[in-house]
Amino acid sequence: MANGRRSPVALAVVLGCGGGSAGPEAWSPDTSGAPGSASSSGDATAGDGSGADGTAESSGDPSVATASSDASSTGEPFDCTPWASTWIGAPCLDDGECTYDGGVCLREDQGFPCGTCSLPCEDLCPDQDGAPGTFCVDAADVGLEDGGNCLSRCDPALLGGNGCRDGYGCAALSRYLDPGTSTGVCVPAGMFAPMTACQQTLVDRGVAFVPTTHELDHPDGHPELDCEILDPVLLYSPVLDITLREGDDAHPVLVACETAIAIADSLEIAAQMEPVGAVEVLHYGTYNCRVIAGTSTLSNHAEGRAIDFAGFVLADGETLSVFADWEDGVASPATPEGQWLRAFTDALWDTMTWHIILTPEYNADHDDHFHVDLTPGEMFYE
């Protein structure tokens, strides 16, 4: 048991700067610039992740926009390369290039670099398979007249970087006529306040994320307690080329921005462990509006400051499980698997990546995972 900081020791890991990838090219631009040179194979479906609303349907016309692939008409050095198939969020010069029912072009002279295809909306927006998701925002929030307009959601997995086209940044905006629902959407760069210093750190390290908002919540049975997340972000997998997975799902996780940095640090450590590093890190979850079991105290999960690591897939294909491979009550593990897991938690502690580290040594509730969190003003490892 440790209740204070230990002296630094030599680690079997090397901490690098991190690089990050641009993301898969599942939705790539049409580099030929020729109309009809490529098309999307997906069909239009209801967007916002909540079912069909009848707002619009795709016309099925795969023609591409003909905007310049070199620079915008304003002379700014934006990449205006057409998408492989026009859809909400694609570059455009005029309404005729947004080739789906009801399509409109938010033009450069309205403040949208290279133009962007949109659609009037009142609630939900349609999605198209293979393209970034969509979201209905208040037109007034992006400098347009009253009403709603569909914009592209930020999607680092498809577009890389901050999840937006060149000339656009990711901002958390509320849904039109529904201020309680927000998500990250692509808006002209500079339209909203710059990213926080923490978010800029993620960008500089090549970590894919989307800034978001989080509505005040309360744990079951504790209306007096508030579940709030400071500087909330959706952290996307892979993180610095390491897959972050919950069960079979590598979906984005909701965390405080500082937690996203600590997760990135942890995965970088796991990837560089000796003798074999991890290529996947398995977890049991991040945000959860709840109290610590048996108490009326908020869990750090309730504020997006924690994650539970459950296992690791190594580069040689071996899978390590905290439940199966941690050696309970052993100060010096005898098995290679136990040594790897112990060295990992030691490395997290010695690098001050987390404030609290709870292993199976702490109690039976942690037999199958490492709970790590950023409790302010605390340092504890067992």
Out of 58-67, 163-172, 366-375, least confident range: 58-67
Please say if the pLDDT value at position 171 is more than 50.
yes
Given a cut of 80, whether residue 251 has pLDDT beyond it is yes
**What is residue 122's predicted lDDT score, i.e. its pLDDT?**
94
Question: What is the per-residue pLDDT for 124?
Answer: 93
Give the 3-state DSSP-derived string for the chain, with helices as H, strands as E and coil as C: CECCCCCCCCCCCCCCCCCCCCCCCCCCECCCCCCCCCCCCCCEEECCCCCCCCCCCCCCCCCCCCCCCCCCCCCCCCCCCCECCCCCCCCCCCHHHCCCCCCEEECHHHCCCCCEEECEECCCCEEECCCCCEEEEEHHHHCCCCCEEEEEECCHHHHCCCCCCCCEEEEEEEECCEEEEEEEEEEECCCCCCCCHHHHHHHHHCCCEEECCCCCECCCCCCCCCECCCCEEEECCCECCEEEEECCECCCEEEEHHHHHHHHHHHHHHHCCCCCCEEEEEECCCCCCCECCCCCCECHHHHCCEEEEEEEEECCCCEEEHHHHCCCCCCCCCCHHHHHHHHHHHHHHHCCCCCEEECCCCCHHHCCCEEEECCCCCCEEC
pLDDT of residue 327: 97
pLDDT at 224 over 70: yes
Supply the pLDDT for residue 3.
Answer: 39
Percent of the chain with pLDDT over 90: 60
Q: Which pLDDT score, from 0 to 100, does residue 255 have? A: 97
pLDDT at 369: 97
What is the predicted pLDDT for the residue at 195?
Answer: 76
Q: Is the pLDDT of residue 25 over 80?
A: no
pLDDT in tens, 252-280: 999 999 999 999 999 999 999 999 999 99
Instruction: Dump pLDDT digits (tens) for 94-151.
Output: 999 999 999 999 999 999 999 999 999 999 999 999 899 999 999 999 999 889 999 9
Identify the structural domains of the chain with CATH numbers, from first to last: 26-193 (no CATH), 195-382 (3.30.1380)
Interval 276-326: pLDDT, tens: 999 999 999 999 999 998 899 999 999 999 999 999 999 999 999 999 999
* Percent of the chain with pLDDT strictly greater than 70: 80
What pLDDT does 206 receive? Answer: 81
- Model pLDDT, residue 100: 96
pLDDT of residue 50: 36
Mean pLDDT of the chain: 81
pLDDT digits (tens, 9 = 90+) for 353-362: 999 999 999 9
Task: With cut-offs at 50, 70 and 90, classify the pLDDT of residue 180.
Answer: low
Asked if pLDDT for residue 231 goes beyond 50, the answer is: yes
With a threshold of 0.75, does the pTM exceed it?
A: no
Q: Comparing 211 with 3, which gets the higher pLDDT?
A: 211
pLDDT digits (tens, 9 = 90+) for 44-69: 444 544 332 333 333 333 223 333 43
Does 29 score more than 70 pLDDT? no
